[in-house]
Chain A
């Protein structure tokens, strides 16, 4: 049980990180559009 969790927790964390990154990119995009400036 613990060993299975040890194997599978990493993709789960990766997915959380991906969600955070996509949400913040969306926020940056909206802010860039609002200000009329390039995001990068």
Chain B
């Protein structure tokens, strides 16, 4: 193996790459800039984005800096199946949400956020749960992406961590601030093109420079029996299954994804999500292969940190130009997700905080835009500060994951089942988060009857996950059948065994408990909800012209009901 020291780009080259990247992105955003931005355009591009842009934006948003590192880590730890247990499940979740996305659009064609739909469906408390989970999630994502920028810059150049964080923060804010989501989608395309081109060049280059097929044949012995097994149980239980469950929650609970669902032209939802599934899977699994290749080469991660695998492989096996490409690849991935987070945060604050609560359904578009842009500035400021302080966010990350897991069933059920009430939604989420915390943080010893209780909850959760997937594609009967069969298989398999995998037990418990509570309380509810009300209550803020007359920005406002 070669030396493991990281290749160092010069300060001038690093600044040139960063300024070139963010400068080009900023110039691109000027192409679509409008003096008086429309608020619906600012949040969801008036729900009319075409196939190419929306697919590229979905892929670019779904891929963040951690995708590469985690996929490579999975390849390095679990061997042949490792990259698939990261990339494949992540990709599958993009596919999984499109049937539900079509339903959301059918019910509320003019929606801007999922929380807005929940406000129209249930009222303020459900909306707040959804909005808060979205806000925390996007803030964490923003911070993680800025941290990744700082880490990359400090690793591959003489610039410091904080300088890297600052440049990324200012760069992303500069091109997103004025046009919001429209700029995010537009620049996502260019960023994705750069990312794919970089990946297409880097992966084969590293592969052949490391030794290519000869290396694989000669070093197969470096893989343990478990790593050489394509159907490794360890890989499934420790990586595949927990990640599968986590990204399912992410797909429903994250506003960046919902925003793209509301932005793409309604007839293009299916093809958009199909190509996004393929694109995300190919890029992330491909880069995960570098982790597997590192295993074949016998690479020792610097300081034992598995996040160093990809930078080490790049430093060891790429020429300087390749390192520059790798640099752009990571900056592109983290920037496209960070700008999506800014756009998501601004949409939530504009719609769910200002529109629904402060303006009480009678928003002024110009003030609404001010709220959106101010949110971006404040979020960037916090993202940069928290990234610079390098806080340990693991606990927060675990909680938001639980919150998202707990809301999946209540959100989906609320859009299909007319019995689900605000009370059922809120209690389902709260009880699921509570029981999740008990098992995840082992607040009581997870043994004996307690362990069996949580294993039963987890089996129910597993059945819910598979049932929901079947429901999206094949309807209720298939879903009930799949859920029942899954439960029959999982119950005996989980009881007495799953307690060894606390992360998975906790995640599945959130699904299981929220479903049981939501269903139980909904069955007791005698009122029925008329889904036609959603389209009436969730309306465009600006582009619907009504008799109300012009307002300050020269636009027209339709009062929002509900």
Name A's B-contacting residues (CB within 8 A): 1, 3-4, 6-8, 10-11, 13-15, 17-18, 20-28, 31, 38-40
List CB contacts (< 8 Å) of B274-299 with chain A. Answer: 275, 278-279, 281-283, 285-286, 289, 292-293
Q: Which residues of B contact A7 (CB under 8 A)?
A: 203, 207, 216, 289, 292-293
State the CA gap A40–B38 with chains docked (Å): 12
A14 to B430, CA, bound (A): 41
Is the pair A1, B213 in contact by a Cβ cutoff of 8 Å? Answer: yes
Nearest B residue to A15, CB-CB: B200
How many of chain B's residues have a CB under 8 angstroms from any CB in A? 38
Interchain CB contact under 8 A, A10 and B196: no
CB of B356 closer than 8 Å to a CB of A: no
11 contacts between A and B (CB under 8 A): A8-B203, A8-B204, A14-B279, A17-B282, A21-B52, A21-B275, A25-B56, A39-B50, A39-B53, A40-B53, A40-B186
Q: Does B483 contact A (CB under 8 A)?
A: no
**Which residues on A sit within 8 Å (CB–CB) of B496?**
none
CB distance from A18 to the nearest CB of B (A): 4
Q: What residues of chain B lie closer than 8 Å to A8, measured between beta carbons?
A: 203-204, 207
State which of A14, A21, A28 has its C-beta within 8 Å of the C-beta of B199: A14
Q: Is there an interface contact between A21 and B55, defined as CB atoms closer than 8 Å?
A: yes
A25 to B186 alpha-carbon distance, docked (Å):
11
Establish whether residues A10 and B182, one from each chain, have CB atoms under 8 Å apart when the complex forms. Answer: no
Q: In the assembled complex, how far is the CB of residue B260 from the closest CB belonging to chain A, in whole angstroms?
A: 12
Q: How far is the CA of A14 from the CA of B196 in the complex (A)?
A: 6
Contact A4 B286 (CB under 8 A): no
In contact, A28 and B52 (Cβ under 8 angstroms): yes
**Chain A residue with minimal CB distance to B59?**
A17
- Is B26's CB within 8 Å of the partner chain A? no
Residue of A nearest to B203 (CB): A11
A17 touches B200 (CB 8 A): no
Residues in A with CB closer than 8 Å to B59 are 17
Contact across chains for B197 and A24 when beta carbons are under 8 A apart:
no
| Cβ–Cβ contact B186 & A18, under 8 A | no
Q: Which residues of A contact B282 (CB under 8 A)?
A: 10-11, 13-14, 17
Q: With contacts A20-B275, A38-B32 known, is A3 near B55, CB below 8 A?
A: no
Q: Per-residue 0/1 for B22-35: is the Cβ within 8 Å of any A Cβ (1 yes, 0 no)? A: 00000000001000
The DSSP consensus for interface residues of chain A is: helix
* Bound-complex Cα distance A28 to B272 (A): 14
Q: Which B-chain residue is minimally distant from A24 (CB atoms)?
A: B52
B275→A17 contact, CB < 8 A: yes
Nearest CB in chain B: distance from A15 CB, A: 5
Say yes or no: A17-B279 contact (C-beta < 8 A), given A7-B293, A27-B52, A39-B50: yes
A24 to B193, CA, bound (A): 13
Name A4's closest neighbour in chain B (CB-CB). Answer: B213
Q: Are A18 and B193 in contact (CB under 8 A)?
A: yes
Per the bound structure, the CA–CA distance linking A2 and B208 in Å amounts to: 15
CB < 8 Å: which of A20, A22, A28 contacts B193?
A22
- Asked if B49 is at the interface of the complex by the 8 Å CB criterion, the answer is yes
* A18:B204 contact, CB within 8 angstroms: no
Q: In the complex, are the beta carbons of A11 and B193 less than 8 A apart?
A: no
Contact indicator A11/B199 (Cβ below 8 Å): yes
B531 interfacial by beta-carbon distance below 8 Å:
no
B55–A14 CB distance below 8 A: no
Q: A17–B196 contact, CB under 8 A?
A: yes
With most chain B CB atoms within 10 A of its CB, the pick from A10, A26, A39 is A10
B51 adjacent to chain A (CB < 8 Å):
yes
State whether A28 touches B197 (Cβ < 8 A).
no
Complex: how many Å from CA A11 to CA B285?
A: 9
Contacts of B203 in A (CB 8 A): 7-8, 10-11
State whether B197 touches A18 (Cβ < 8 A): yes
Answer whether A11 and B204 are a contact pair too, CB < 8 Å, given A4-B216, A20-B275: yes
State in angstroms the CA–CA spacing of A11 and B287 once bound together. 9
Cα-based distance from A24 to B276 in the complex (angstroms): 13
Give chain A nearest CB distance to B33 CB in angstroms.
11
Q: Which residues of A contact B56 (CB under 8 A)?
A: 21, 25
* Centre residue among A18, A25, A28 by max chain B CB count within 10 A: A18
